[in-house]
Every structure is written in structure tokens, then in C-alpha cells.
Amino acid sequence: MAIHAAVAARDLKIDAEATAIINRRRRDEMTQERDQILRDLFAREAIEDAKLLERDARGEAGIATYIAALTAKVTIEFYDRRFTINLAHRDNAMRDIAISAAGRLMLYITRAIPSAVQVAENTAKNGIAVPTTPADPQWVEKLLDSSQWLGPAYSRGLITVTDLKGKPFKATKTATATAQPREVRDPWLGR
């Protein structure tokens, strides 16, 4: 029985070594196959990325061609001022800000006209001279300084303001535009 046990142990050792060699070969083959598959996938991704970049470049070239040929300016005269807004910009954000500014200016005007008409009617009924100028002499400055109206577009140079003869308007800082000192209070300390 001792001979049989020695032979069996030797066979188990050889079997284990053979299994280890087979496993190593399979692992090496799997690693090589995996590496080849990864190279193929990365190559396919690179080709797809190149196609997407080429497509995006064609799109950008299309935008550049369109914007270069586009004439899109809004000129609005209100009271004694002429506002000109260029809507043709390559950059989406700049274009959106300009378009929004045109809409905001029109909103301001469509609100100001009925209000001024009401003031004119009421003053005429009372026998007072009808005002033909804006009630606020700094109405343009306030429009240009306000982030809710034309401030974002004006600060980026998307709006030009002139008088009706074409003389550039020089904005002065309004009382609302000057920074007020901020008082910081600590709720725990009461100061």
C-alpha cells in the first residue's frame, strides 16, 4: 500500500503541475486575447471620435458661414435715444444675451408707453402741461446698469446707445448702481 500511496502522490503532484501550466497558458492566452480586443475597441472608439469631431467641425463651419452672411440688427428709437443690438454672434451665449436684451428692451418700452399715456391723460384732465420727456432723466442709465434689463448685454458690448443724431451715449453711474456698504450682522452676537 505504501507503493500505491507514493505513486498516487507523485501523480497528484504531476497533475497539479500540469494543471498549473495549463491555467498559466490559458491565462496568458486570455490576457493576449483581452489585450487584442481592447486594442480593437479603442481603435473603433478613436474612429468614431474622429467622425464626431469632423461632424462637429462641419457644424461649426456651418455656423460661421451663416453668421458671416447674417445681418441681424435691431434698432429701436425711444424718446431721444437710439438702441442698436447686434443679434448675429457665433457664440451661443452672446447670441442668447443679445436676443434676450432685444426682448427686454421691447418689454420696457411696451410697459412705458401705456404708463406715459396714462400720465398724459391725467395731467391734461387737470389742466397741467403734458410731459413729453421721460419722468426719470436717468432712465437710460438705469436700463443699462440693471442686470434685469440691459446690463448683461451692455457690459459685453452687445448694445450701442446713441442720440438720434448718432452721437454715442455716455452713461453715468446711477444711484442704484453705486455699491452700498454691506452690514453684516451676527445673529448670535446681536451685532
C-alpha cell at 170: 455716455
**Structural contact between residues 57 and 51, judged by C-beta atoms closer than 8 angstroms:** no
**Of all residues in the chain, what percent carry a pLDDT higher than 70?**
85
Q: Give the model's pLDDT for residue 187.
A: 63
pLDDT tens digits along 89-116: 888 888 899 999 999 999 999 999 999 8
Q: Give the model's pLDDT for residue 176.
A: 46
Nearest to 99 by CA among 86, 111, 84, 83: 86
pLDDT tens digits along 37-63: 999 999 999 999 999 999 999 988 888
pLDDT tens digits along 154-186: 988 899 999 888 888 877 765 444 444 555 566
> How does residue 30 score in pLDDT terms, banded at 50, 70 and 90?
very high
Q: Give the model's pLDDT for residue 164.
A: 84
Integer Rg of the chain from CA: 38
CB-CB neighbours of 109 under 10 Å:
14
Mean pLDDT of 17-35: 92
Q: Where are the domains of the chain?
A: 1-69, 73-163
The CB-based long-range contact list for 184-187 (8 Å cut-off, 24+ gap) reads: none
Nearest to 144 by CA among 179, 110, 170: 170
Q: Give the model's pLDDT for residue 188.
A: 66
Distance separating alpha carbons of residues 31 and 91, to the nearest angstrom: 48
Q: Give the model's pLDDT for residue 175.
A: 44
Q: Mean pLDDT for the chain?
A: 84
Most confident of the ranges 31-35, 60-64, 135-139: 31-35
Distance separating alpha carbons of residues 129 and 123, to the nearest angstrom: 7
Beta bridge partners of 160: 84
Statement: the pTM of the whole predicted model exceeds 0.75: no
Distance separating alpha carbons of residues 167 and 170, to the nearest angstrom: 9
Amino acid at 169: F
Cα–Cα distances in Å, from 88 out to 67, 85, 96, 105, 152? 6, 9, 10, 17, 16
